[in-house]
Structure 1
């Protein structure tokens, strides 16, 4: 991703959005963005990790104002034994 001064700004592969998982999956499919991981957020919405930052940039642009900024609460992962 570049800024107005053509400086490369690193972008995370993870994107948090205020929509449900099926909508995220559909949007990723529409934009040929490959999902690495996806989870429902406890407060609503979805966290999706894309395979690369270019795909993340496409999805951020596609969702626009539905992208959640800042920290979000996530479900703690527990290993089944």
Structure 2
């Protein structure tokens, strides 16, 4: 199961909920299409968060901000 979750809530709301329930967050980013993307450190935390937020989950594709940092190696260091 994925640790990334798209939810119809602000990053501040997500952080408060995660603090209250002791869910460990890797990152939270606002989405251009509305809502936020949260990545949990533990898949169990992600599943518990999904259950808690089941009425606010965003299904399908979302538009992420172009300012997010993709975790990819620079072209000069990739295998050819």
Query: Above 0.5 in TM-score?
Result: yes
TM-score range, shorter chain: 0.7 to 0.9
Other structure's SS at 2:66 match: coil
Counterparts of 1:42 and 1:78 in 2: how far apart (Å)? Answer: 11
Q: How does 1:1-81 map onto structure 2 within 5 Å?
A: 11-77=1-67
Kindly name which structure, 1 or 2, has the bigger radius of gyration based on alpha carbons: 2
Note the residue ranges of structure 2 that are not aligned, 5 or more in a row: 70-80
Note the residue ranges of structure 1 that are not aligned, 5 or more in a row: 1-10
The runs of at least 4 aligned residues of structure 1 exceeding 2 Å deviation read: none
Cα deviations across residues 25-75 of structure 1 (Å, max 9, x unaligned)?
011111111110110001211100000110101111111110111111101
Counterparts of 2:63 and 2:49 in 1: how far apart (Å)? Answer: 21
Name the TM-score, length of structure 1 as normaliser.
0.78
Counterparts of 2:32 and 2:10 in 1: how far apart (Å)? Answer: 11
Name the TM-score, length of structure 2 as normaliser.
0.79
